[in-house]
Amino acid sequence: MKIAVLADIHGNLEAFQTVLEDLDQQAVDAVYCLGDFIDYGADSEEVAREIIRRNIPTIMGNHEYALLDDQILNNLTDIAYESLIITKKLISEATLDFIRTLPIYLVAENIRFVHGVPPDSLEDYIIYYPDRYLNYIFQSFPEQIAFIGHTHTLGLYTYNGNYVVIESLHEREYSLDPQKRYIINIGSVGQPRDNNKQAKYVIYNNQTKILTIRFLTYDAEQAANKIIKAGLPEYNAIRLL
């Protein structure tokens, strides 16, 4: 079974459409979204509608949760807070109703899907955990693999039962060891922060154990111009270019 996993679309319709067009050529059997499909970009409503139309299983990200919980909203950075206040005015009640239904995590095919850090955090950043604590994270969930987002960067955490090895991920295929366990940080579709401005997503074949990292070029300038036109913070546009 080939499973595509997307994260952190952040209202970037141009990046999302490019990923969807690529997905249509990859013959995947399932697609999962790890949340934060709204905010920062100008097209949160359009992105949400497409997720709903395609019936993509989706979990809650911290930006979705912040629409529903003022405590989470107040924990956001100043730019994220300002963005979300504007974004809330741009999305429909139907989209808000959809967001209210989202789970904090999903489990399928011996895989856990969570926005931040397993087992169920949507606010924590795995990159800020000390190495010695990573063993405890792996011990907190039973599945062989957890896919995460939130950091907008790529990373592979491999656990052999004794310790965790951390490495970066690049645009290529990786063969995963069925005897080991993994947390896979899949990067961002709509707002990467890894010094590479392409849209990123991954495909995992759970039969061959092959993980494929996809990098895609999209019209970032158009997405940036729409951010400015929508009155969102200019920094959101600058990040894309």
Contact 223, 41 (CB under 8 A): yes
pLDDT, one tens digit per residue, over 101-127 is 999 999 999 999 999 999 999 999 999
Q: Where are the domains of the chain?
A: 2-238
Please report the pLDDT score of residue 48 as a whole number: 98
Q: pLDDT-derived band of residue 221, with 50, 70 and 90 as boundaries?
A: very high
Q: pLDDT-derived band of residue 147, with 50, 70 and 90 as boundaries?
A: very high
Please report the pLDDT score of residue 238 as a whole number: 95
Please report the pLDDT score of residue 172 as a whole number: 98
The fold adopted by the segment(s) 2-238 is Purple Acid Phosphatase; chain A, domain 2 (3.60.21)
